[in-house]
Amino acid sequence: MRLNKIIQQGVSTNGRPQGSPLPYMLMRSVEEYSRATLVAARIPDEKVKEHLGPSTEGNKPTYLGEWEKNMIKETLPRGFVLRRPTMDDLQAALELIQTCEIEREGKPETTLDSMRLWWQSPDFSLATDSWIVFSLEGKAVGLATVEQRQHARIFIGGDVHPDYRRRGIGTHLLNLNEQRAQQHVAEAAADVRVSLLSWADEKSTAAQHLLEQHGYNKIRSFWRMKIELNEAPPAPKWADGITVQTLADNPDLFRAVFEADEDAFKDHWGFVPGTFEDWAHWTSKRENYDPSLWFLAMDGNEIAAISLCEDEKEQGGWVHSLGVRRQWRRKGIGEALLYQSFGEFYKRGIHEVYLGVDAASLTGATRLYERVGMHVHRRADTYEKEIRAGREISTQSVEP
């Protein structure tokens, strides 16, 4: 899933400038800004045409004003092409992300399907929310993205190819992300706090330093937890009146599952209500979506708790969303759902199972996961930069 899901729910990623210079520049056509960037970087005209196609004004590149051109020249390294990505760039962007994952984790995790799902999500636009950088040889070497919730929590992310770091590409992409974030400030409710959020893997020291140098503070950590199922897990023990079924047993409950998911996670740090359209896109349109792995703890006709799982093939089994609604907590239902999920994975020959969690979970979820035998596998840190003070719209605490 995407960056905002990491920060909100700590789930798998196979999973959206302070003082912005000329915000109107980003409102111009993508082609105009991209051509001006190429000119400022002193890219030969033939390379401009190769990467962007014919100009709307004949074959001449369109120039920005001298001040704007100087601003770009100072921040974009020479010899690189910056533009908005299109779906035709999907494979090139995937190769960039996988290269960064191999360097960081030893193996790729992002798939073509998850990239396509991301780039086609309802609340994300390649034309306004992303930038891609190419070398003159045509290799994608940088990618930046912006996502948001209610224009108040703005999630920014980026990758730079390991062979092209320390050249200013990451800094330039971060500045572009911040410029896009400034546009959201005007669309946010007048009284709300607006903040930028990003993340850095525990091994990504370059990303950590970049964020810190630009005024971001580390505010939270998220864990990827793992269990190795070397033997069959214990059978689940259900509280009185609770039964379990899968979504495959009752597909008409799909909308009700969304409502239960939202209700359970309203006590999660950073939660902001989402839309059914976005949730449905990120769940049911996934290549590995399997409603027989969506376990629903039922109290009569009500969904008391959920465990929404997926077989991610080479990446193991995943519990993408485990949530118990308030009135059914402290009855062992979460533990029973985990054992139900582990048992089904084990029967299918899947012996490595993962989930993501807030390391300082407001509901004490980490204690449950440790109790059933899970351990911390990786850590990612959340960084924040406030760009307007005001009323915080996301969950920050839970009443006992």
Neighbouring residues of 88: CB distance < 8 A, sequence distance ≥ 6: none
Nearest to 129 by CA among 94, 181, 80: 181
Segment 132-154 mean pLDDT: 96
CA end-to-end span of the chain, whole Å?
30
Sort 256 into a burial class: Cβ within 10 Å, 0-12 / 13-18 / 19+. middle
**Binning pLDDT at 50, 70 and 90, where does residue 347 land?**
very high
- Express each pLDDT in 312-331 by its tens digit: 998 999 999 999 999 999 99
Segment 69-97 mean pLDDT: 82
- Express each pLDDT in 236-255 by its tens digit: 999 999 999 999 999 999 99
Give the residue with greater pLDDT, 195 vs 4.
Answer: 195
CB 305 within 8 A of CB 334: yes
CB 219 within 8 A of CB 382: yes
11: pLDDT strictly greater than 70: no
Helices 276-284 and 254-265 pack at an angle, to 10 degrees, of: 110
- For the chain, which domains are there? 3-221 (3.40.630.30), 231-350 (3.40.630.30)
pTM of the model: 0.82
pLDDT at 75: 62
Beta-sheet strands, E only, within 90-193: 130-135, 140-149, 153-160
